[in-house]
Amino acid sequence: MSFTIDLTGRTALVTGGGQGIGRAICLSLAEAGAAVLVNDYVPERAESVAKEITSAGGAAEPRPFDVSDYAAVSAALGTGPQPGILVNNAGMAGPVPQGAPAGVSSGAFAQTDPADWNKYFAVNLFGVMNCTHAVLPAMITAGQGRVITIVSDAGRVGEPNMAPYAAAKAGAAGFTRALAREVGRSGVTVNNVALGTVDTVGLEDMAKDSPQFAERLQRQLKRYIVPRFGQPDDVAGLVTFLASPLASWISGQTYPVNGGYSVTM
């Protein structure tokens, strides 16, 4: 058996692919030979990553749209090659400024405003469902496909002050498990990758400017078996494996990539 991952001839859609973890996933899939549709709600970010791939000799096109808008998703994917690989990476709490930390903490749930819950579900759950619904018929017709959804340890083992976000991520994970049972006989596999803290915004540099933030990071790091925060490339490798023929007998599963932050089954 060869362990070379070869995705030549496959088309992959990566949501939230314009920066951070999504960018790393796009680059990894392209290096394995896939043609990558780079999604981001900021067109310039999608275009930048697509250009980065094509400049290196790969194949990529930008596909800017908001995953929480089903009509926009359908319109963006209605023409051209249909992806046989979908990576539902877009998440957090919707748009944040470039380089800013993602807003996943909503504070103590008893003090939250119900009107604020929707932003977590719109992207992390309904965005996943929207994109999956749009690409799944073509996968079923083709008799093969990969759906990989990035979820969070917040939804897998729980985190205080993140209840709406955790609920949305747990919902996406449950959706994956149910869908895997529906489409397995059609040759489509559906899996989750659950993340601990991944440094996409330069946490160490931010800590230099704030002793309070630095202290909080050190407290958090004490819970990690591998004493560092994740990097985007730590995620991209597993996603690329799950997208490949080597993972054809894996479905309905959740794989933690978290440095040992949690060790529950």
pTM exceeding the 0.85 threshold for the entire prediction: yes
Instruction: Tell me the per-residue pLDDT of 83-93, one tens digit each, with 9 for 90 and over.
Output: 999 999 998 75
CATH T-level topology, domain 11-201+231-257: Rossmann fold (3.40.50)
For residue 98, what pLDDT band results from cuts at 50, 70 and 90?
very low
In the chain, where are the structural domains located? 11-201+231-257
Give the residue with greater pLDDT, 108 vs 134: 134
Q: Active-site residues: which are they?
A: 165
For residue 97, what pLDDT band results from cuts at 50, 70 and 90?
very low
Which of 161-170, 174-183, 216-225 bottoms out in mean pLDDT, i.e. has the lowest? 216-225
Please enumerate, as own/partner, the contacts of 173-180 that have beta carbons within 8 Å and a separation of 24 or more: 173/149, 173/254, 175/125, 175/128, 175/129, 175/132, 175/149, 176/147, 176/149, 176/151, 176/252, 176/254, 177/252, 179/132, 179/147, 180/251, 180/252
For residue 155, what pLDDT band results from cuts at 50, 70 and 90?
confident
